């Protein structure tokens, strides 16, 4: 009875992993912080749980299939952890061609396992010992290198300026936790392989299957409850450095109070992003002040969400419930503020009002005139003369 519970739990955990993958892939284009290496890791783990649970429920005990193809395939997940740590520090989300050499040993191990299965001459104790030692060395190599890489590039680094920031601490603690997680998984796998080797069983690594179930359940829960762990360190540092700049939220345009919401979907969204409202608004203010995106008249809310790496649904919620004007009016507000800064910097010393209108993203002087007077109470000319 307990074994059946484990099997169904394994399949359920695999399905949960696939759900997490779908969330990552759904935001892949709009969120540059989604990491392909983490996608590979979770995909392999999910496949592992579904296959193991499915094999056991169907009473399929063909260990040759598991040891000959499937289990060596899962070894690709071991270097993927190392590459994931590198991508966090070096800030890249795609696979590099040079990353492929990390898959050489897992693929060679698959060929060796298949050779032992189909060619009896290859299935002897010397090949078995060689394969066992090679797998152990492979696991230890990436475990030690992952620890060393993080120690040198993240944990030991002098990050005094941002070390107290909770976002940086989250990345720091996440990598430490993940190293502990990998270590426990690796030692469980090594112990399983040793037990199978001494018992003259095929090297499957499936013993004590409850341990990885528990550990991966914790990982999946942590990812779902703390999506910030998907952020790459360079992106975080850039964002945290921006926070060191004095940014004053304009309460004439923003409303940070708790809104009354009747829409069920918005109500559910509110619970998940309430603590992010002010950081989101700060991100919007910093980006607009630094890059003046509305000088492009076609720049819309989806473009803004993509540039800020914020889900578009979250940004739509912000403007619906925490901005005192619609997004169209917000754009005009930002354009006029941009115009006022250009005027202060002497733009009109050599340029016309019409040039200023087009510079700040208006399609005509008339629309600029109307928006300017609405915002300042004066026409552009009267404003200059006052």
Average per-residue pLDDT for the chain: 80
pTM here is 0.57
**pLDDT tens digits, residue range 318-338?**
999 999 999 999 999 999 999
**pLDDT tens digits, residue range 188-211?**
878 877 777 677 666 666 667 788
Which pLDDT value is given to residue 141?
93
CA distances from residue 383 to 38, 339, 351, 372, 376 in whole angstroms, order as listed = 55, 12, 16, 9, 8
Split at pLDDT 50, 70, 90, the class of 339 is very high
Which pLDDT value is given to residue 84?
87
Q: Which residues of 208-217 are buried (b: 16+ CB within 10 A; e: fewer)?
A: ebebbbebbb
Which pLDDT value is given to residue 145?
93
**Contacts of residue 95, Cβ cutoff 8 Å, sequence gap at least 6:** 36, 37
Q: Is the pLDDT of residue 282 over 90?
A: no
CA-CA distance, 301 to 313, in Å (whole number)?
10
> In this structure, what token pair is assigned to residue 344?
């202060």
Split at pLDDT 50, 70, 90, the class of 296 is very high
**pLDDT tens digits, residue range 58-104?**
665 544 444 444 566 678 888 999 998 888 777 666 778 888 888 88
Which pLDDT value is given to residue 234?
47
Pick from 21-25, 27-31, 48-52, 139-143: least confident: 27-31
Which pLDDT value is given to residue 28?
59
Determine the length of the chain.
386
């Amino acid at each position: 009875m307990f074994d059946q519970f484990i099997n169904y739990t394994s399949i359920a955990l695999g399905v949960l992993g696939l759900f997490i993958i779908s969330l990552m892939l759904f935001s892949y284009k709009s969120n540059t912080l989604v990491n392909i290496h983490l996608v590979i890791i979770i995909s392999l783990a999910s496949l592992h749980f579904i296959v193991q649970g499915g094999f056991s429920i169907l009473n399929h005990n063909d260990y040759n299939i598991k040891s000959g193809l499937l289990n060596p395939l899962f070894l690709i997940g071991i270097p993927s952890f190392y590459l994931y740590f590198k991508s966090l520090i070096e800030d890249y989300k795609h696979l590099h061609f040079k990353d492929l050499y990390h898959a050489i040993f897992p693929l060679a191990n698959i060929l060796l396992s298949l050779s032992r299965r189909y060619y009896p001459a290859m299935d002897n104790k010397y090949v078995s010992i060689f394969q066992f030692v090679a797998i152990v060395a492979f696991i230890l190599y990436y475990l030690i290198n992952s620890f060393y890489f993080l120690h040198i590039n993240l944990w030991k680094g002098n990050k005094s300026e941002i070390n107290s920031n909770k976002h940086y601490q989250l990345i720091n603690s996440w990598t430490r936790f993940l190293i502990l997680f990998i270590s426990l998984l690796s030692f469980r796998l090594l112990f399983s392989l040793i037990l199978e080797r001494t018992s003259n069983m095929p090297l499957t690594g499936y013993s004590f299957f409850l341990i990885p179930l528990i550990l991966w359940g914790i990982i999946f829960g942590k990812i779902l409850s703390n999506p910030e762990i998907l952020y790459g360190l360079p992106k975080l540092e850039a964002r945290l450095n921006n926070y060191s700049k004095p940014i004053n939220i304009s309460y004439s345009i923003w409303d940070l109070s708790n809104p009354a919401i009747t829409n069920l979907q918005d109500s559910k969204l509110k619970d998940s992003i309430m603590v992010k409202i002010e950081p989101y608004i700060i991100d919007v203010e910093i980006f607009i002040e630094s890059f003046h995106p509305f000088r492009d008249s076609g720049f819309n809310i989806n473009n803004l969400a993509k540039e800020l790496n914020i889900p578009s649904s979250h940004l739509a919620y912000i403007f619906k419930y925490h901005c005192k004007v619609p997004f169209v009016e917000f754009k005009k507000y930002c354009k006029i503020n941009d115009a006022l800064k250009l005027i202060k910097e002497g733009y009109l010393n050599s340029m016309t009002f019409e040039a200023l209108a087009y510079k700040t993203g208006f399609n005509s002087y008339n629309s600029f005139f109307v928006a300017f007077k609405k915002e300042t109470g004066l026409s552009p000319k009267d404003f200059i003369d006052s």
